[in-house]
Structure 1
Amino acid sequence: MTNLQVVGSEVLGRSAITPRRNSIFTSVDFDRPGKQIGYFCVPQSPHDDAWGAVQVPLAVIKNGSGPTVLIEAGNHGDEYEGPIALGELLRDIDPQEVSGRIIAVPAINVRAVEAGTRTSPVDGLNFNRSFPGDFNGTLTEQIAAYLHDVLFPMADYFLDLHSGGSSLMILPSAIIEPSPTTDGHRRNIAATLAFGAPTVVMVDNLGETRTSTSSANHQGLVVIGSEMAGGGLVSQEALAICRRGIRNVLKHAGVLAGDPDIPAGANARVLKVPGSDAYLLADDDGVFEPITELGSVVRKGDVAGRIHFLRSPAREPVVLRHPIDGVVFAKRQPGRVRPGNCCFVLANEYPEALAHEAVADEL
């Protein structure tokens, strides 16, 4: 086992961070050529294991010189396409194919992955709302701190693989994470279009700064996200998009040889979730009946769905109406709802992503 120190990035304009003191150790050597699949280990002392550690799967594939691409899956434990596709890549790839380094964490929220839940069963936290993390905090906060302080400074690119999880169905999409800088935003758009999904959506999570992608952005990495279907299922269509998209990003970065494989129909729809008005939330406790289909084009005021009250058969259902014009990007999966549950997310066209000449030049 090797105690890990932060390795500085060579990317122009990257600012170094000072790593916080921590006790996390790893079974891999980030600088050793070849393929290594092991763990980073987070010491824990629960009732049944006084001096134990939580082993988070970690892989490093290194050969020659080139950039480092960090790929994360299992951010939420009920999102499956990313971990499956990333595991396939790690088993299949020959280090001789690589120019540079791939660092992969295929089940980063490992206890949530084991449980098939969005949040960790250990501490109840959402890993993707836990950055920059805390090495003196709970398990989720410690893993987030390790990503923030140790892995991000090693990387030039960050690919974050998601799906809708148990509660949402989402159009299989590549996600543009808006960067705090103009140049960073341009690079993010170029890399996201290179992923090659049929739909591209810019999502800023209402300005949320506690996500892994926001954290990577603020450290100057090129950031790409994805949302691959959901509903707690594994979609063959989304899995195929994800497999191809991972390799496309590696090709775009120059870690794999060749040009990205952009199929017909890729990037056909480029959208943006415009803000809080795009989210249709339930105000009632009942059973949700979605009426609008995923991917539909809707107008403000169109009927989106209804909420029924099964214990009060005399009560009329509440009609939900779309709050803005747009495309249905995400739709709630479970029928049961309570006030505040997200029922629909809408997106509008975002032609700026395709109109940017620098993006077109890079592709």
Structure 2
Amino acid sequence: MECAPTNARRTSHVTKTIGFTDIDFDRNGKQVGFLNLPSSVHDDAWGVIRVPLTVIKNGQGPTVILQGGNHGDEYEGPIVLGEIIRDLDPAKVSGRLIIVPAINLPAVVAARRVSPVDGLNFNRTFPGDPLGSPTQQLSSYVNDVLFPLADAFVDLHSGGSSLSIIPSAIIEPAEDAELARKNRAAVAAFGAPMTVVIANLGDPRTSTSSACRAGLITVGTEMAGRGTVSPEAVKVCRRGVHNVLHHLGVVESADPASVPTDLSPAYEIAGHRAYVLATDAGVFEPYHELGTEVKAGQPAGRIHFLNNPARAPEVVHYGLDGVVYALRHPGHVISGSCCAVIVSACKDFAA
């Protein structure tokens, strides 16, 4: 690990992190500790942000990063990663697991999507800045320190406080054809009820997009949401993570034949028309449940104006044919809020 720079002008181009950890990434066994990021604030001049970090290593084999808590109000992933940290015997591992179950720790503690420290969305800050704000330092640590150690990356998301989402495994588009093939195979092994290609409207600042640029086999998820814990989604997540680790050769499966090799029904979020957006502030009443097949132009729901009951509700419409994949939670919206998301059959990946 590099020392903290004493001359920013001279060393900034080689600085990877000012964070520090007592964990030895090359040592066999299970090490449970922290990434410590210096944090000098009003009431703690020389404190640190302590991000939980675990390494489980045994001999030779692939290195897989398991990340949860990218957003602080998404819980299934951190729960499953905590189970792995507590329960997995290093002797059962062939290779190395780097586990960060609450990477965006300030947001996790606050149960918020974005960090209360600097107001940033961790998943829109990659590749980060080693000398930037705390969130930028965290994304830089993942991008510049962890990614170079790894062969694969699993980023466990849920719908958070504002969306309810069908549990699904996510394919991050990759320009390299061979990496795209490996991503599809790993997502198939996860075995979620639905597979969705999500490009985040081409935004390159996400963790999965950055992982693909680093050449890592990449798997994402969306596990339910509404700011709660779904028992069924926890089961899907737990089974899926184990399946991917078996697929990558890091752990054995009690029943290898049960690990899927074919993609579940494959869909995509096909551009901006897939999003149903609120046209005004009010309360959104959806017309359909998750999983409903709908048509472009069909009413998606209506926005009620509770402060002006004489005003007729405003109807919003779907922009694409497809399936209702995500719905707004809670009901209150402002202009531009995402009320619903439609996924369409993905022609590139037949089920």
Question: Shorter-chain-normalised TM-score: which range?
Answer: over 0.9
- Report the counterpart of residue 80 of structure 2 in structure 1: 85
Identity of aligned residues (%): 56
- Report the counterpart of residue 271 of structure 1 in structure 2: 267
- Paired with 1:115 and 1:28, the residues of 2 have a C-alpha distance of 26
Give RMSD over aligned pairs. Answer: 1.6
Does 1:251 pair with 2:246? yes
- Report the counterpart of residue 10 of structure 2 in structure 1: none
Q: How big is each residue's C-alpha offset from its partner over 1:316-340, in whole Å with a ceiling of 9 and x where there is no partner?
A: 0001111110011111111111111
- Paired with 1:4 and 1:78, the residues of 2 have a C-alpha distance of 33
Q: Give the SS at the match of 1:50.
A: strand
- Paired with 1:275 and 1:181, the residues of 2 have a C-alpha distance of 21
- Paired with 1:262 and 1:151, the residues of 2 have a C-alpha distance of 27
Q: Give the SS at the match of 1:40.
A: strand
Unaligned runs of 5+ in 1: 6-17, 356-363
Is contact 1:68-1:157 (8 Å) kept?
Answer: yes
Q: How big is each residue's C-alpha offset from its partner over 1:265-316, in whole Å with a ceiling of 9 and x where there is no partner?
A: x844211111111111111111111111111110112221110011111110
Q: Give the SS at the match of 1:324.
A: coil
- Report the counterpart of residue 129 of structure 1 in structure 2: 124
Is contact 1:244-1:261 (8 Å) kept?
Answer: no
- Report the counterpart of residue 283 of structure 1 in structure 2: 279
Letter aligned with residue 248 of structure 1: N
- Report the counterpart of residue 107 of structure 1 in structure 2: 102
Match of 1:54 among 45, 49, 74: 49
Structure 1 segment 225-264 matched on structure 2, within 5 A:
225-258=220-253, 259=256, 261-262=258-259
Q: Does the C-alpha gap of structure 1 residues 19 and 257 become closer, same or farther in structure 2, counting only changes over 3 Å? A: farther
- Paired with 1:116 and 1:245, the residues of 2 have a C-alpha distance of 24
Structure 1 segment 39-50 matched on structure 2, within 5 A:
39-50=34-45
Q: How big is each residue's C-alpha offset from its partner over 1:5-38, in whole Å with a ceiling of 9 and x where there is no partner?
A: 9xxxxxxxxxxxx863432111211000000110
TM-score normalised by length of structure 2: 0.94
Q: Give the SS at the match of 2:349.
A: helix
Match of 2:66 among 68, 71, 92: 71
Q: How far apart are 1:261 and its partner, in Å? A: 3.5
- Paired with 1:96 and 1:58, the residues of 2 have a C-alpha distance of 19
Structure 1 segment 1-363 matched on structure 2, within 5 A:
3=1, 20-258=15-253, 259=256, 261-262=258-259, 267-354=263-350
Q: Does the C-alpha gap of structure 1 residues 159 and 193 become closer, same or farther in structure 2, counting only changes over 3 Å? A: same
Q: Give the SS at the match of 2:220.
A: strand
Letter aligned with residue 320 of structure 2: I
- Paired with 1:142 and 1:354, the residues of 2 have a C-alpha distance of 40
Q: Does the C-alpha gap of structure 1 residues 24 and 231 become closer, same or farther in structure 2, counting only changes over 3 Å? A: same
Q: How far apart are 1:352 and its partner, in Å? A: 2.7
Q: How big is each residue's C-alpha offset from its partner over 1:226-285, in whole Å with a ceiling of 9 and x where there is no partner?
A: 000000010001000000011111001100124373479x84421111111111111111
Unaligned runs of 5+ in 2: 4-12
TM-score normalised by length of structure 1: 0.91
Is contact 1:4-1:26 (8 Å) kept?
Answer: no
Q: Give the SS at the match of 1:51.
A: strand
Letter aligned with residue 326 of structure 2: A
Q: Does the C-alpha gap of structure 1 residues 260 and 225 become closer, same or farther in structure 2, counting only changes over 3 Å? A: farther
Is contact 2:16-2:145 (8 Å) kept?
Answer: no
Letter aligned with residue 119 of structure 2: G
Q: Give the SS at the match of 1:243.
A: helix
Is contact 1:200-1:271 (8 Å) kept?
Answer: yes
Letter aligned with residue 192 of structure 1: V
- Report the counterpart of residue 12 of structure 1 in structure 2: none
Of stretches 294-303 and 97-106 in structure 1, the one that deviates more from structure 2 is 294-303
Q: How far apart are 1:353 and its partner, in Å? A: 2.4
Q: How far apart are 1:162 and its partner, in Å? A: 0.2
